[in-house]
Amino acid sequence: MAFDFIELQLLQRQKEGLYRKMHCAQTKQGRACVFDDKTYLNFSSNDYLGLASSQVLINAWNEGAQRYGVGSGGSCLMTGYTEAHLLLCEEIKSWLGVESVVLFSSGYCANQAIIKLLFLARDSQNNNFLFQDKLNHASLIEAGILAPCNMKRFKHNDLAHLDLLMSQLNTENNNKLIISEGVFSMDGDQAPVQALADLSKKHHAWLMLDDAHGIGVLGDEGRGSVFCAENNRPLVQIYMATFGKALGVGGAFVAGDHSFIKYLINFSKGYIYTTSFPPAMAYTISASIRQVRKDQWRRDKLNALIKHFRSFAKSHHIKLVDSITPIQPIIIGNHNAVMRITQSMKKQGFWVIGIRPPTVAKKSARLRVTLTVNHDFKDIERLVLALKNSINKEACQHQ
Active site residues: 46, 137, 181, 185, 210, 213, 245
Residue length of the chain:
399
Q: Which amino acid is at 55?
A: Q
Of 348, 328, 309, nearest to 40 by C-alpha is 348
- φ, ψ for residue 242, nearest 5 deg: -115, 160
326 contacts: CB under 8 Å, gap ≥ 6? 48, 188, 213, 217, 302, 306, 370, 371, 372
Count of CB atoms situated within 10 Å of the CB of 375 = 24
- Which residues, at least 6 apart from 220, have a Cβ–Cβ distance to it below 8 Å? 227, 232
Kindly report the number of other CB atoms within 10 A of residue 257's CB atom.
Answer: 14
The angle, 0 to 180 degrees and rounded to 10, between the axes of the packed helices 55-68 and 279-294 is: 150
Contact 43, 370 (CB under 8 A): yes
